[in-house]
Amino acid sequence: MNTLINNTMNASTFESIVEAMKKIEEKKVLKLVNYAIREGATQAQIIEAIQRGLDQIGHYFEEGKYGVTDLMMAGIIFEEVLKLPSLKLINEESGEPIGKILLCTIERDLHDIGKSIFKSAALMSNFEIIDMGINITAQEILEETIRSKPDVIAISSILAEGVRYIKEVNEKLIAAGIRDQVKIIVGGLSTHRQAVEYTGVDAFANDVYEGVKQCKIWITEGGEAH
C-alpha cells in the first residue's frame, strides 16, 4: 500500500514539476524537485519531468507566446536544478567513457536549453562530451571533428534556418573525406524526419533520452539509426 501511495505521490509531483517548469516558476520548480528527491525520485525521472516542461516552453516560443528572455530564464532554472547536490551527474566510479560526442547548437542559433539537457543525459550514460557551445558554424564543427575525432556529432537547432547550416556540416565532412568516420544526430524544434533526408545526417531525436539511446546503439552495438 505504501508503495502505491508513493508511486501516486511521485506521479503527482512530476506533473507539478512539469507545470511549474512550463510556467517558468523558478522557486516552485526547485521546491518540487527537492521534494521529489526526498521521496526517492531518480535523476532520470526528475530530468525527464524538467524536459517535458521545457518542451512545452519550446512550443510556446514557436507559437510566439514566449520570447527569448523566457527561454533564457528556463535555461537558468534548468542549470539551478543541475546544481542541486543530489543531482550530481558524473559518476566517479564510471570508468572509461563509452564514446565521445561533439555537441553544439548550430550557426545563428543562440538557444542552449536542449543542448544542456542532452549533455546531462549523455554524461549520465558515461559519454565524454566536447561542448562547443552555441552559434557554431559548419567550418568550426569540421575543424573540431578533425581535431577531436568524436564518434558522434550532436547538433541542436531550434530555428527553421538551422537545417540549412546542418546540411552544410554534412557536406563539409563529405568534402573532407571523413563523413564515414562519424555519426551525426540532430534535435530541436526545427528537426524532423524530413530534415534528416534533406541534411544527410544519420538520425534525429524527439527527446534527449531517445537521442542518447541512439548514440549508445551506435557505440555499443554498431547499429543503424532507428
> What is the 3 state secondary structure string of 49-106?
HHHHHHHHHHHHHHHCCCCHHHHHHHHHHHHHHHCCHHHCCCCCCCCCCCCEEEEEEE
Q: How many CB atoms sit inside 10 A of residue 135's CB?
A: 15
User: Does the pLDDT of residue 92 top 50, yes or no?
Assistant: no
For residues 191-199, give the mean pLDDT.
Answer: 81
8: pLDDT strictly greater than 60: no
Distances (CA, A) of 62 to 22, 57, 83, 158, 215: 14, 9, 28, 9, 27
CA–CA distance from 216 to each of 2, 22, 139, 171, 220 (Å)?
36, 30, 26, 25, 6
> Strand, coil or helix: what is 8?
helix
Cell of 69: 528572455
Give the amino acid at 111. H
Residue 14: pLDDT band with limits 50, 70, 90: very high
What average pLDDT score do residues 137-161 get? 95
More confident residue, 138 or 61: 138
Band (pLDDT 50/70/90 cuts) for residue 90 is very low
CA gap 194, 219 in Å, rounded: 25
Positive or negative, the CA dihedral 47, 51, 57, 62 is positive
What's residue 217's pLDDT? 95
- pLDDT higher than 60, residue 99: yes
> Residue 103's closest CA among 150, 147, 168, 146?
150
Tally the C-alpha atoms within 13 A of residue 87's C-alpha that lie toward its C-beta: 25
Output phi, psi for 129, to 5 deg.
Answer: -115, 130
**What pTM did the predictor assign?**
0.72
CB of 103 closer than 8 Å to CB of 130: yes
Average pLDDT over the chain, rounded to whole?
A: 85
Q: Which domains does the chain carry?
A: 2-87 (1.10.1240.10), 100-221 (3.40.50.280)
Q: Who wins on pLDDT, 130 or 9?
A: 130
